[in-house]
């Protein structure tokens, strides 16, 4: 199934002037609504579509970062699937993951019963537009035909099964083997991350350092077998950590047995690692072992359930 099947040239907007996100959503939704069959237009008004889109934004912003917005809505008793791309004339401030203003908006409106196709469409577009060359090409497009012809000339096939590449997110921070343990714990606190990836100079994934690694560093092995330590009053499990922190790097706490999956891993494989194996995070790597994304429980909730 090709992405081009779901978009009409009339649903691509360039040089868009919008007073705010609501105005932008109305303009894009109007292009989709205008292409709907008459019966569906009667059953689902433009106001209904905009209300659904705004409702989704109120729950959580769909600003992915890198200037990309992916507004979407799933509509009951809606038998069509609409896609609209908008290029803003001027960047617009909005709530995004990286706090950068919006420049491109990719809207998807779909039946409530087909969640997978929505995920596949916006994840495909997000990957496409995160390519700096493509991103710049779209921003500089003189007219909608330029963008439509670009999409037409590229093989943007959609596989309906949700994979790791569809729900992974970029890591907020990573470590090297030489990162001091003080910097490691600082990054964990700063980014509210209990697990951080350790990479070599080429970006190859080497393992992870977790908050548990830090806590367990000074704990005697037999403590892991105890049901309670209430009888131990004067033992400070962090003493060993503080005695050695000045010389310690991420190497000292490196866990090489970290869960990795390829970008093609299925959703059930991801959930198996997170739920059954109880890993805090899954690291997504390319064929060369380079880290390309991470998936934790919140990413699954956000991108596969609450999208």
Residue 261 sits in a domain whose CATH number is: 3.10.580.10
Q: Count of domains in the chain?
A: 2
Distance from C-alpha of 73 to C-alpha of 304, rounded to nearest angstrom: 14
Domain-located, residue 285 = yes
With respect to residue 164, please indicate whether it lies within any of the assigned structural domains: no
Residue 150 lies in a domain: yes
Please give the model's pTM, rounded to 2 decimal places. 0.67
Q: Which residues contact 9 (CB under 8 A, 6 or more apart)?
A: 144, 145, 148
Domain that holds residue 25: 3-159
Give all strands (DSSP E) within 66-214, no chain letters: 68-69, 72-75, 82-92, 102-111, 174-175, 195-199, 205-210
* Ramachandran region, residue 33 (left: φ > 0; alpha: ψ -120 to 50; beta: rest): alpha
Measured in whole angstroms, the distance separating CA 303 from the mean position of its chain's CA atoms is: 7
DSSP category for residue 169: B
Q: How many helices (H) and strands (E) does the chain have?
A: 12, 12
- In a domain, residue 82? The reply is yes
**Which of 131, 159, 187 is the last residue before a domain boundary?**
159
DSSP code at position 302: I
For residue 168, tell me if it sits in a domain: no
d(CA 85, CA 295): 27
Q: Are 199 and 150 found together in one domain?
A: no
Q: pLDDT means per 10 residues in the chain (307 residues)?
A: 80 95 96 86 86 90 88 82 93 86 92 77 81 92 93 74 85 95 94 96 96 82 71 75 83 94 91 92 96 92 68
């Amino acid at each position: 199934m090709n992405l081009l099947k779901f978009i009409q040239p009339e649903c691509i907007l360039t040089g868009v002037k919008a007073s705010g996100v609501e105005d932008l959503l109305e303009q894009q939704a109007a292009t989709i609504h205008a292409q709907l069959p008459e019966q569906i237009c009667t059953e689902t008004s433009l106001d209904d579509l905009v209300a659904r889109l705004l409702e989704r934004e109120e729950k959580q912003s769909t600003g992915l970062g890198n200037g990309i917005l992916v507004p979407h809505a799933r509509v009951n008793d809606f038998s069509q699937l609409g896609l609209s791309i908008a290029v803003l004339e001027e960047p617009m401030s909005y709530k995004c993951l990286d706090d950068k203003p919006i420049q491109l908006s990719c809207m998807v409106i779909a039946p409530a019963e087909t969640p997978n196709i929505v995920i596949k469409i916006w994840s495909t577009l997000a990957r496409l537009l995160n390519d700096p060359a493509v991103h710049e090409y779209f921003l500089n497009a003189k007219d909608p035909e330029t963008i439509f012809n670009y999409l037409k000339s590229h093989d943007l096939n959609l596989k309906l099964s949700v994979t790791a590449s569809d729900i992974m997110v970029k890591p907020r921070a990573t470590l090297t083997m030489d990162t001091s343990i003080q910097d490691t714990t600082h990054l964990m606190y700063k980014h509210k991350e209990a697990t951080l990836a350790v990479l070599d100079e080429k970006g190859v994934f080497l393992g992870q350092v977790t908050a548990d690694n830090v806590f367990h560093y000074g704990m005697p092995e037999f403590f892991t077998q105890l049901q309670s330590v209430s009888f131990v009053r004067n033992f400070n499990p962090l003493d060993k950590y503080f005695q050695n922190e000045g010389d310690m790097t991420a190497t000292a706490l490196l866990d090489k047995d970290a869960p990795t999956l390829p970008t093609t891993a299925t959703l059930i494989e991801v959930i198996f690692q997170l739920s059954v194996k109880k890993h805090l995070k899954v690291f997504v790597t390319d064929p060369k072992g380079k880290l390309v994304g991470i998936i934790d429980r919140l990413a699954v909730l956000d991108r596969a359930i609450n999208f």
